[in-house]
């Protein structure tokens, strides 16, 4: 396989960031999170970066066309010659269509859209179980990394709190937004034959193993 151009899909709390970092290390590919790309373009003062900054300074959403242009700048670069990992974009079918058009211009294509599939209840358990140190921001989890004394930070002894964005009703709202806007991407990429599903409720190491197995199969199919 000449290049690996990957998109990570999945709800908040699905582990996209963890798996993206592992893929970056395993395949030596650049890992592009949308916010990081925009900040880098602003920092480097590219033409599109200056345009994006105007929107960001006003607190407005950066238009899809600008984001696509910024992503195109990075994908055209030498660092992405062997492929890339996109996390956080596209979020809608319209963005996916625009990304596809940009890839066509570069004579490239998406290798796979990796859906890390996690149920809503599991997302609520993962995100809703977080407890944050009110003083220094240390993070614990009631199931995965509980403090020695309930409600007390192991590091500094401060009170542990549930942040507003970790409250179940807020998490459910985020999930509703995800299903409304982002879930249609699953059908979009499935229709194009590039969607690959992975059970995100498995142990993170097993999730990573399954992703690597999927990519190895794609390489084998290309060689046959």
Question: Is 131 in the active site?
Answer: no
Question: Is 219 in the active site?
Answer: no
Rounded CA-CA distance 8/115 in Å is: 6
Question: Is 163 in the active site?
Answer: yes
Q: What is the dihedral of CA 211, 214, 219, 220, to 10 degrees?
A: 140
Question: Is 159 in the active site?
Answer: no
What pLDDT band is residue 197 in, cutting at 50, 70 and 90?
very high
Q: Is 156 helix (H, G, I), strand (E, B) or coil?
A: coil
Rounded CA-CA distance 112/27 in Å is: 14
* pLDDT per position as a tens digit, 70-123: 888 888 888 899 999 999 889 889 999 999 998 999 899 999 999 999 999 999
Rounded CA-CA distance 201/206 in Å is: 10
Instruction: Point out the catalytic residue in the list 39, 53, 135, 163.
Output: 163
Assess contact for 94 and 64: CB atoms under 8 A. yes
Tell me which residue has tokens 């596809």: 100
Instruction: Point out the catalytic residue in the list 74, 167, 174, 181.
Output: 174
CATH 3.40.50.300 describes domain 4-29+82-119+182-223: yes
**Domain spans, the chain:** 4-29+82-119+182-223
Q: Is the pTM of this model over 0.75?
A: yes
Rounded CA-CA distance 2/88 in Å is: 24
* pLDDT per position as a tens digit, 136-190: 999 999 999 999 999 999 999 999 999 988 999 999 998 998 898 888 999 999 9
* pLDDT per position as a tens digit, 23-70: 999 999 999 887 788 888 888 888 888 888 888 888 777 888 888 888
Question: Is 39 in the active site?
Answer: no
pLDDT of residue 1: 53
Please state the length of the chain: 224
């Amino acid at each position: 396989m000449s290049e690996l151009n990957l998109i990570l899909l999945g709800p908040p709390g699905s582990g996209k960031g963890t798996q993206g970092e592992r893929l970056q290390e395993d395949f030596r590919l650049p890992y592009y999170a949308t916010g990081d790309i925009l900040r880098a373009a602003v920092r480097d003062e590219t033409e599109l970066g200056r345009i994006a900054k105007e929107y960001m300074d006003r607190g407005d959403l950066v238009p899809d066309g600008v984001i696509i242009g910024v992503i195109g700048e990075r994908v055209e670069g030498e660092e992405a010659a062997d492929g890339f990992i996109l996390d956080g974009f596209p979020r809608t079918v319209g963005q996916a269509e625009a990304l596809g058009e940009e890839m066509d211009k570069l004579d490239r294509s998406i290798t796979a859209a990796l859906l890390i599939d996690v149920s809503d209840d599991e997302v609520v358990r993962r995100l809703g179980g977080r407890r944050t140190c009110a003083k220094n921001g240390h993070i614990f989890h009631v199931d995965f990394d509980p403090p020695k004394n309930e409600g007390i930070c192991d590091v500094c002894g401060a009170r542990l709190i549930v942040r507003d964005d970790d409250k179940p009703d807020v998490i459910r709202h985020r999930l509703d937004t995800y299903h409304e806007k982002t879930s249609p991407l699953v059908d979009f990429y499935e229709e194009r034959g590039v969607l690959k599903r992975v059970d995100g409720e498995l142990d993170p190491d097993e999730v990573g193993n399954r992703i690597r197995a999927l990519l190895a199969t794609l390489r084998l199919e290309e060689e046959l």
